[in-house]
């Protein structure tokens, strides 16, 4: 019945998210969720709005959440935009700020939603190969462009780009918006938020889905100078003027207020990541240096898809991308220490019986 589809729909290749299996007792290390539960303060905040006010529309401007974020990141009023997960925020960014006559640039190995949005919004793009070590080289972006976007740390490599390299990109491309997608910045990276007052072309995107343990609630945000945020608000208010629901608004504010819990979870994940890297390195794996809550790794002799399959047989799921340059790599999310131990035991078995 696809004759009912618009021409656009015929051309789309939708994003395929990592599997969310409907079975229990899996060690689920495939979608970079946080292994720790949300802060108790978030449950309390949700309980406090679970009442008859749910019949009312939420605040269309999400003012409380924006204020909490502005204060937390030391920004001015009008410098924060919020949406239903950073995927929605990114969608508005693509249509409001990245659709121009010249091509949008992003790395060849990166978050695979970017080309999907280009298809949806009719944006011309060009991919720039990462270096052999999977690094972003700012000099490679010194070509005509209508914008630049990349995750920092990059996904799925986990590699961090230093702030001075980001400044080089910002200075070399004063007429393009540079979008830094910081979904994983809280696991050891330095945020580009500190550069916002100095660069009119910088937009930083973050999410509650990874470091704040709230992937199920869908909250993301963008930070930049007021003219960029205004462009996003125009698109958002032409699409869905009530993006963040009442429950998510309350939880989003509470999450920002519980800094000690947040710091503790991030520290634990970094510690577990260090342990995993040590195990992998000692067992024949090469690991890209990671500043994220996952590692990107390949075994010196064993095939990646075979390892993934054997892990699955042991009820552990990791992510394998059948894509050029990275088909021998696995992306493994950092779990709890117990999950990590189960992973290491399973990998040791697989290597022993190979």
Ligand X SMILES: *Cc1c(COP(=O)(O)O)cnc(C)c1O
Site residues (vs ligand X, CB under 6 A)? 32, 85-87, 111, 151, 155, 181, 183, 207, 209, 215, 220
Q: Are 62 and 243 in contact (CB under 8 A)?
A: yes
- Minimum distance of ligand X from residue 284's CB (angstroms): 27
- Minimum distance of ligand X from residue 30's CB (angstroms): 12
Which pair of tokens denotes residue 246? 């009442």
Residue 335: count other Cβ atoms within 10 Å of its Cβ. 23
- Minimum distance of ligand X from residue 60's CB (angstroms): 20
Residue owning tokens 């698109």: 235
- Minimum distance of ligand X from residue 35's CB (angstroms): 15
- Minimum distance of ligand X from residue 87's CB (angstroms): 3
- Minimum distance of ligand X from residue 114's CB (angstroms): 9
Smaller CB separation from ligand X, 36 or 302? 36
Smaller CB separation from ligand X, 66 or 299? 66
Smaller CB separation from ligand X, 87 or 245? 87
Residue 260: count other Cβ atoms within 10 Å of its Cβ. 8
Smaller CB separation from ligand X, 26 or 215? 215
Smaller CB separation from ligand X, 32 or 95? 32
Q: Are 54 and 42 in contact (CB under 8 A)?
A: no
- Minimum distance of ligand X from residue 262's CB (angstroms): 16
Smaller CB separation from ligand X, 229 or 347? 229
Listed in order, strand segments (DSSP E) in 279-322 are 285-287, 294-299, 316-318
Smaller CB separation from ligand X, 184 or 199? 184
Classify residue 64 as exposed, middle or buried by CB count within 10 Å of its CB (0-12, 13-18, 19+): middle
SS3 content of the chain, % helix, strand, coil (to 5): 45, 15, 45
First-to-final CA distance of the chain: 48
Smaller CB separation from ligand X, 135 or 350? 135
- Minimum distance of ligand X from residue 86's CB (angstroms): 3
Sign of the CA dihedral running 210, 264, 271, 343: negative
CA distance 155 to 132: 16
Classify residue 211 as exposed, middle or buried by CB count within 10 Å of its CB (0-12, 13-18, 19+): buried
172 sits in which H/E element: helix 163-172
């Amino acid at each position: 019945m696809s004759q009912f589809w618009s021409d656009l729909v015929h051309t789309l290749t939708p994003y395929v998210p990592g599997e969310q299996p409907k079975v229990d007792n899996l060690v689920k290390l495939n979608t970079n969720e946080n292994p720790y539960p949300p802060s108790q303060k978030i449950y309390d905040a949700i309980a406090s709005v679970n009442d008859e006010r749910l019949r009312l529309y939420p605040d269309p401007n999400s003012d409380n959440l924006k204020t909490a974020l502005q204060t937390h990141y030391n920004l001015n009023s009008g410098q924060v935009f919020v949406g239903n997960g950073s995927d929605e925020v990114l969608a508005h960014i693509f249509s409001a700020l990245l659709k121009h006559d010249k091509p949008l640039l992003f790395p060849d190995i990166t978050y695979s939603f970017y080309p999907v949005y280009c298809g949806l919004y009719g944006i011309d793009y060009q991919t720039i190969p990462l270096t052999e070590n999977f690094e972003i080289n700012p000099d490679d972006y010194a070509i005509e462009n209508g914008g630049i976007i990349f995750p920092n740390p990059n996904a799925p490599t986990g590699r961090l780009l230093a702030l001075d390299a980001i400044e080089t990109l910002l200075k070399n491309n004063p007429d393009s918006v540079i979008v830094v997608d910081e979904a994983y910045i809280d696991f050891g990276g330095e945020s580009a938020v500190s550069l916002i007052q100095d660069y009119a072309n910088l937009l930083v995107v973050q999410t509650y889905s990874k470091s704040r343990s709230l992937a199920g609630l869908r909250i993301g945000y963008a930070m930049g100078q007021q003219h960029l945020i205004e462009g996003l608000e125009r698109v958002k208010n032409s699409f869905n003027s009530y993006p963040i629901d009442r429950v998510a608004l309350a939880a989003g504010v509470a999450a920002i207020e519980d800094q000690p819990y947040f710091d503790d979870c991030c520290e634990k994940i970094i510690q577990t990541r260090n342990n995993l890297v040590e195990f992998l390195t000692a067992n024949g794996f090469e690991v890209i240096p990671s500043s994220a809550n996952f590692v990107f790794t390949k075994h010196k002799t064993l095939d990646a898809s075979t390892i993934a399959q054997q892990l699955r047989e042991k009820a552990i799921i990791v992510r394998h991308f059948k894509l050029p340059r990275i088909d021998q790599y696995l992306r493994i999310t950092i779990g709890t220490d117990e999950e990590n131990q189960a992973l290491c035991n399973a990998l040791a078995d697989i290597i022993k019986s190979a």
